């Protein structure tokens, strides 16, 4: 386990590199409860903080398009799919709750982003596609959105991005199992 000091645990665990508030939090817990392993806090805390910051940037970028990040996820899923998708499948793919999906689909339909049709295999259900206008608007906003994502990780070089992506993939494969 990396050593903990009053100044904080460094990012590399060896006393080198910049420090952040998570380093200070780990250090303080290390002082208060030295019998506990606070090293995982460095990973989980940074995952949570990074997710908060990414979501805030994405929401700010999408606001002029009158989209939330969750709605962007729905449109993105529809635009890359091979055909219509049921609301249940969208719920599974995007890990939403059923009521949240229903609410978002209703709003996207009212805004012209999506179109619903009766499911020919189940007249009680619907199939969802991106509307022609929605697909066009999505195609126009996607390059800027990808530019935002690139800017968010621009502090990392290609090797660092690859390592981070592989490490996060390993965690997600395990957690999603």
Question: Is residue 20 within 8 Å of 1, Cβ to Cβ?
Answer: no
- DSSP states of 98-147: HHHHHHHHHHHHHTTSEEEEEETTEEEEEEEEE-HHHHHHHHHHHHHHHH
Nearest Cα to 101, choosing from 114, 90, 110?
90
Boundaries of every domain in the chain: 1-52, 68-177
Work out the mean pLDDT of the chain and round it to a whole number. Answer: 89
Question: Is residue 122 within 8 Å of 104, Cβ to Cβ?
Answer: no
Q: What is the dihedral of CA 150, 152, 155, 156, to 10 degrees?
A: -60
Which H/E stretch holds residue 4? none
**pLDDT, tens only, 124-160:** 889 999 999 999 999 999 999 999 999 999 999 999 9
Burial 122-158 (b: 16+ CB within 10 A, else e): eeeebbbbbbeebbebbeebeeebeeeeeeeeeeeee
Tokens describing residue 74: 């729905």
* Alpha-carbon gap, residue 70 to 94, rounded angstroms: 8
Q: Does domain 68-177 have CATH number 3.40.190.10?
A: no
Q: What angle do CA 163, 169, 172 make, to 5 degrees?
A: 145
**pLDDT, tens only, 45-76:** 999 999 999 999 999 999 999 999 999 999 99
pLDDT band, residue 15 (cuts 50/70/90): low
Q: 12 vs 36, which has greater pLDDT?
A: 36
Instruction: Name the most confidently modeled range: 14-23, 94-103, 112-121.
Output: 112-121
Tokens describing residue 167: 């490490």
């Amino acid at each position: 386990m990396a050593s903990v000091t009053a100044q904080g645990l460094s990012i590399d665990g060896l006393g080198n590199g910049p420090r952040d508030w998570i380093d200070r939090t780990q250090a303080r817990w290390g002082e208060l409860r030295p019998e506990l392993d606070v090293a995982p806090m460095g990973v989980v805390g940074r995952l949570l903080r990074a997710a908060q910051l990414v979501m805030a940037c994405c929401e700010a970028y999408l606001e002029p398009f009158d989209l939330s990040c969750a709605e962007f996820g729905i449109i993105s899923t529809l635009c890359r799919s091979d055909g219509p998708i049921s609301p249940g499948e969208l719920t599974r793919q995007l890990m939403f709750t059923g009521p949240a999906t229903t609410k978002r689909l209703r709003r996207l339909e009212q805004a012209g982003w999506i179109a619903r049709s009766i499911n020919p295999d189940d007249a009680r259900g619907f199939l969802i596609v991106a509307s022609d206008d929605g697909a066009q608007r999505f195609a126009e906003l996607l390059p800027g959105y990808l530019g935002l994502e690139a800017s968010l990780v621009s502090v990392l070089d290609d090797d660092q991005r690859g390592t981070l992506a592989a490490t996060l993939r390993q965690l997600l494969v395990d957690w999603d199992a």
